[in-house]
Amino acid sequence: MKLMKSKNKRNALRSLVMSTVLVTSVAVSTVPVSAANTELPIAQYVSASGDAQCGTSPETATYTGKVTLKVPLTKIMEANEANMKLAADNGAYPWNKEKTGIAYITYDVTFPEEVQFGNISATETSSFINKVEATTKNNKQVSLKMTFNDVNWKDIYDLYLADKLDPSAHTVDVEIPYTITANSLAEATKYENELITGTGDFTFYTGRYFFSVKTTYNADTLSKPFVSGLSDCFVPSVQPTAQPTAQPTAQPATPAQNAGSSANLEGDILIG
């Protein structure tokens, strides 16, 4: 009886180990093999524009700018198409980084100074993105979250292929208006030398359990001018220049009288 129980325990343990190995091997087989070497090229679809307005009494300069994203999702996912197909063929589901649901792409736009944000708009026409959310932080950052449709990789891949036929018609569109005021030439010059930056990632897991495999695609780095033209609103202070010391004006020399000849003349007259 004891021998039978021991044998059953060994068989149960062997089955558990084999099941774990099988599930793990399936999970690993769905992992993109080139994730570490592939970036999401988002930066090229981001632009920044604006203009400066001068103020007087006191002298100020206010910049009104806007960061615009128009991102064709099929273009930024294109380099990973083979990996998506691999995951689709294996019936995988892209769990988010918290392992609580569907995966999402994040992208943070960061400003070098505190700014006043206007009404931020975030929309999408992508077939495999469910929604786009924009959240501000400390008046210096806008965090974007692009959440996938809550379906498996097979459905995402099919929608991706359909959108790929016309990338410009299936985009994520975000507008971030902002303003900032400079109160001096030094402040204006400082702002003109600073940059708006952006970066993000797409992270997902193959499952919810401890043996799930994590994959991360990092976005490339955004770098755009923060402001322009602010310093033109300020008149540089003029430093007084030292005046050259006035030199005394030279007087023309007076011809000297011939005193000796005059004396001799008088002497001759007296003698004669």
Contacts 24+ apart (CB under 8 A), 51-57: 51/229, 52/227, 52/228, 52/229, 52/230, 52/232, 52/233, 53/233, 54/232, 54/233, 55/233
**34 is written with which tokens?**
């080139």
More confident residue, 242 or 122: 122
pLDDT tens-digit profile of 187-210?
Answer: 999 999 999 999 999 999 999 988
Answer whether residue 38 shows pLDDT above 80: no
Answer whether residue 169 shows pLDDT above 70: yes
**186 is written with which tokens?**
């030094």
The model's pTM is 0.76
What pLDDT, on the 0 to 100 scale, is given for residue 128? 98
Mean pLDDT of the region 227-240: 83
**How far is Cα 25 from Cα 240, in angstroms, rounded to an integer?**
79
Residue 268 pLDDT grade (very low, low, confident, very high; cuts 50, 70, 90): very low
What pLDDT, on the 0 to 100 scale, is given for residue 232? 96
Answer whether residue 16 shows pLDDT above 60: no
199 touches 219 (CB < 8 A): yes
181 touches 198 (CB < 8 A): no
DSSP 8-26: HHHHHHHHHHHHHHHHHHH
Residue 11 pLDDT grade (very low, low, confident, very high; cuts 50, 70, 90): low
Mean pLDDT of the region 48-73: 96
- How buried is residue 251: exposed, middle or buried, by Cβ count under 10 Å (0-12/13-18/19+)? exposed
Answer whether residue 257 shows pLDDT above 60: no
H-helix or E-strand containing 215? strand 214-218
What pLDDT, on the 0 to 100 scale, is given for residue 15? 46
**267 is written with which tokens?**
């002497």
Which residue is listed with tokens 């093999």? 33
What pLDDT, on the 0 to 100 scale, is given for residue 24? 42
**If we measure between CA atoms, which residue out of 26, 35, 112, 122 comes closest to residue 70?**
122
Mean pLDDT of the region 174-178: 99
Radius of gyration of the chain (CA): 40
Instruction: Using DSSP, state whether 101 is helix, strand or coil.
Output: coil
What pLDDT, on the 0 to 100 scale, is given for residue 10? 54
What pLDDT, on the 0 to 100 scale, is given for residue 210? 84
Report DSSP state, residue 138.
T
Which range is least confidently modeled, 93-107, 121-135, 174-188, 207-221?
Answer: 207-221
The overall average pLDDT reported for the chain is: 84
Task: Count CB atoms within 10 A of the CB of residue 103.
Answer: 21
Instruction: Using DSSP, state whether 210 is helix, strand or coil.
Output: coil
153 touches 175 (CB < 8 A): no
